[in-house]
C-alpha cells in the first residue's frame, strides 16, 4: 500500500482507534489494494476517485462474476475509507454516499436440528480416549454458548472457575463480553484437563496444544467436529464451529429468546447483523398463530 499513504493511515486508524484484529486489517488492506489496481487503470489516485470511478469498479466486479457478498464487503471497506478521508479533511466529499451496493440474496444460516446436536454429542463421546473428552467439550461449549471458534480456542486455563456461571470472552475488535456457560459445558471442559499426559507442564490455555500458539487451532477444532459427525452418522460437511454457533442462535430464538438478548450473547456490534435470524422468528410466530388462534 506504499503508493497510497492515505490507505496506510486508514489501516493504522483501524488498529489504533478501533482495535481491529490483524485478520480484519489484512482483509481491508486486500480490498483497498484491489480498488487501487482499478484506480491505476483509470489514471486516478484512490483518494481522489469520484463516484464514476466507484461505479465502474462496482460494474467490473459484477462483470467478473464476483459473489454479491464479496462485492458488498469490498464496497463496505471503501465506504469506511472515504468516510475516514472526509473526516480527516483529505477531501470535502464522500463519493460513496451516491453509490448503491449490490442486492444481497436473502439467506438463512445453516443450522443443525436439536436431534442432530444430540447425535453429534453422542458421536463425540464415542471417539476414543482423550479425543472423545475434547470433542464433547468443544461441542458443548460451541453449542451452549454461541462462541466464535476464535474465542473458544483463546480461552485461558482459568476461564471456567467453579461457581462462576459467566465467562469473560474477548471477541472481535478486542471487545470483551460476559457469556453464560452451562454446567454441562463447564464439566466437559474441565474433564479434558484430567486427560492431559502425566507430567505435562501447566498451560495458560484451556485447550493446550503443541501448535505455535500454544493452544488448539481452528483447523483442529474443525477436524475434531467432523470426526464426531462421522461417528454420529451425520454429513460431516454440515458440521463446523460456525454451524454450531448458528444452531445456538436459531434454537434460542425458536424457543422464545429475543433479538436484543441474542445480539449481546453473540457479541454483534450492530443489531442489523443479528437480524439475519428474523426468519427464525417469523417461523415461530407463524407456528404460534397456527397452534393457538381459534380460526387458524
**Per annotation, catalytic residue among 73, 242, 279, 284:** 242
**Per annotation, catalytic residue among 73, 110, 172, 177:** 172
Instruction: List the grid coordinates of 78.
Output: 471503501
Q: Is 131 a catalytic residue?
A: no
Whole-number Å distance between alpha carbons of 115 and 127: 19
Q: Is 148 a catalytic residue?
A: yes
Q: Is 172 a catalytic residue?
A: yes
* Radius of gyration for the chain, computed over Cα atoms and rounded to the nearest angstrom: 23
Write the CB contacts of 278 (distance below 8 Å, at least 6 apart in sequence).
259
Whole-number Å distance between alpha carbons of 187 and 160: 9
**Per annotation, catalytic residue among 38, 58, 148, 215:** 148
Q: Which is nearest to 273 in space by CA: 246, 254, 251, 247?
A: 246
Buried b (16+ CB within 10 A) or exposed e, 197-213: eeeeeeeebbbbeeeee
Q: Is 245 a catalytic residue?
A: yes
**Per annotation, catalytic residue among 58, 74, 215, 245:** 245
Contact 227, 127 (CB under 8 A): yes
Whole-number Å distance between alpha carbons of 288 and 255: 11
- Point out the residues that are catalytic: 148, 172, 242, 245, 268, 277
Amino acid at each position: 500500500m506504499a503508493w497510497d499513504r492515505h490507505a496506510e493511515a486508514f489501516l493504522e486508524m483501524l488498529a489504533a482507534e478501533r482495535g481491529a484484529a490483524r485478520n480484519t486489517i489484512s482483509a481491508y488492506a486486500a480490498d483497498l489494494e484491489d480498488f487501487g489496481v482499478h484506480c491505476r487503470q483509470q489514471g486516478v489516485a484512490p483518494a481522489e476517485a469520484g463516484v464514476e470511478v466507484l461505479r465502474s469498479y462496482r460494474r467490473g466486479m459484477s462483470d467478473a462474476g464476483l459473489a454479491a457478498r464479496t462485492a458488498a464487503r469490498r464496497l463496505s471497506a471503501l465506504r469506511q475509507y472515504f468516510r475516514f478521508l472526509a473526516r480527516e479533511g483529505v477531501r470535502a466529499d464522500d463519493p460513496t454516499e451516491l453509490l448503491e451496493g449490490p442486492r444481497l440474496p436473502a439467506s438463512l444460516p445453516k443450522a443443525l436440528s436439536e436431534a442432530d446436536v444430540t447425535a453429534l454429542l453422542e458421536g463425540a463421546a464415542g471417539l476414543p480416549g482423550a479425543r472423545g473428552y475434547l470433542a464433547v467439550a468443544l461441542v458443548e461449549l460451541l453449542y451452549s454458548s454461541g462462541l466464535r471458534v476464535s474465542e473458544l480456542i483463546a480461552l485461558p486455563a482459568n476461564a471456567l472457575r467453579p461457581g462462576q456461571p459467566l465467562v469473560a470472552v474477548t471477541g472481535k475488535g478486542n471487545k470483551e463480553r460476559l457469556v453464560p456457560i452451562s454446567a454441562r459445558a463447564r464439566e466437559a471442559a474441565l474433564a479434558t484437563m484430567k486427560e492431559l499426559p502425566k507430567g505435562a507442564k501447566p498451560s495458560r490455555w484451556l485447550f493446550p496444544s503443541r501448535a505455535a500458539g500454544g493452544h488448539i487451532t481452528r483447523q483442529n477444532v474443525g477436524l475434531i467436529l467432523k470426526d464426531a459427525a462421522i461417528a454420529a452418522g451425520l454429513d460431516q460437511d454440515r458440521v463446523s464451529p460456525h454451524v454450531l454457533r448458528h444452531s445456538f442462535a436459531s434454537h434460542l430464538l425458536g424457543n422464545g429468546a429475543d433479538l436484543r438478548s441474542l445480539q449481546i450473547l453473540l457479541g454483534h456490534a450492530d443489531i442489523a447483523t443479528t437480524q439475519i435470524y428474523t426468519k427464525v422468528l417469523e417461523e415461530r410466530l407463524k407456528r404460534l398463530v397456527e397452534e393457538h388462534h381459534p380460526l387458524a
